[in-house]
Chains A and B, each alone.
Chain A
């Protein structure tokens, strides 16, 4: 319990402090330090395993631990990257696409850093919540804290992105609240019996007594409401805008951490449906949304004229794969949990590299970026490797997890699903390959420096680390991780 509280308090206190620290260097150091402490505490959680006590609101079970670890690793990478990024974006330096230099005083950097840390705190609260109401509060809190991060560059396009994000996700989360109320009605005891508290373990234990029509209605609202924030199509419309307009390190966190948080919330509802014996109902819905998301992403990936939007649509695709994996059931659940890790690591790496590309070329149009491998040797190679990983090529972890999900489809005898899944993966591979290889190869632009640039280590170390992790996972899954993934797959299947 003390560990869980420490995980919540460290980013909260550091975030509050960041607003009052005047010196930029001290504040950046605080950001990295808080991220490192958070990761250490998360590592300790793997050892101590603070399982939720019966009736307790807080605790870390296997699915929570996996998503918490993803968030923590990604946040440290983003924090290190941010230290270099904020130094480059500091006032007085040249900035891309910024007309109103006056807005970039020191105060916004304090707001940005504070916002990042409070975002980590609210993300952590999602992962350690065992009470569904508390979880809702945490998910809504992540929307509010991340809206200010999206509007870091103060121009009209990021403002538009932030507004759409706020409105669409607030409505989505409001619907999720209604889903929570429906679930509470389903759990209310008739004729003087006691209500089942809104705690995951209690609901799973007493799932048989839940009122079926309300439970089913609740799941739909969970799926549509939290699905909006997870980026499932057709509720994904905020996602490409927010991901393309926010600073790249924020995009990395949104895509790699934020979307997963809402996925966890949907998994909780799925878990309760499974325990109540309605697994088939919730699985069918997840499967449908998964395939629609993949298909939508495929349409927009083809011919995409903005490489950050390309990555954003790829996130819609991968959220679809996660929903599909859980929707298939069986080995698909293991595959989905594993895929969440692989996708987050790879996508965060790609967004950080995209930030490096953007910093040099000052454009998000792929056709204006040429000769990447020669100008930025490290980022260029990472860009190509990241592409191979995100499209599920061996030897990366994504290959293993996408293959596991394919195998689950074949095990279930869902031939049609398997064929559509492979077809969509192939279309997206081709669509992304055209853009990525076009950027990596080609003649150097005329006004480019012409020789290799030294890339600051703060900008390349985080993506290298993330890329290394996903490569290692492709070769060998550590036993502890494998056991936890299996346990998580069992838990989200609805068995207690």
Chain B
């Protein structure tokens, strides 16, 4: 079957808009003013505590670290505890600044560069920001932080800088400062491991994505 998609779209679009515009003014050039919305307010001084309590409530775990150089050992420990397969997919080295010491990965971990292929047991990425209100980690897709790492691995470990925790969903968007034409392909707000309750409403972790989610919280000491 072949249709002229452009023409098809033009005709349909016109029909739909005609019907919509019966009831309201034609697509007015200036933006309508959306009514102001209220945002839930949180105790700013307790952001980290609020975040961690909500985050833990989503069946996730965390450890605090004060230095990135601890990451390889902690990843190894996590892998030893949770997975027979010690393969790790990450692009973490690309976010290290020049003055930071390169990470010293133990040989027992077999590292592979992204994208994830489904064969790696552990994925390591970093969160751009995190939401205290919901206990969510927010990851934006990029060369440094490819989306497949978030979904194709069995265990997902995410690094978050404590300073990047914001109070609510709105402040998260503000922090990301997104605009059309400049969007990361994907923004993933992640709150706990993959889950399903599709069989007899019984919650099971690890439906399609990671079976576990672990946070390494980089605190400022």
The answer on A and B forming one complex is: no
The residues of A with any CB-CB pair to B shorter than 8 Å are none
The chain B residues found within 8 Å of chain A, CB to CB, are none
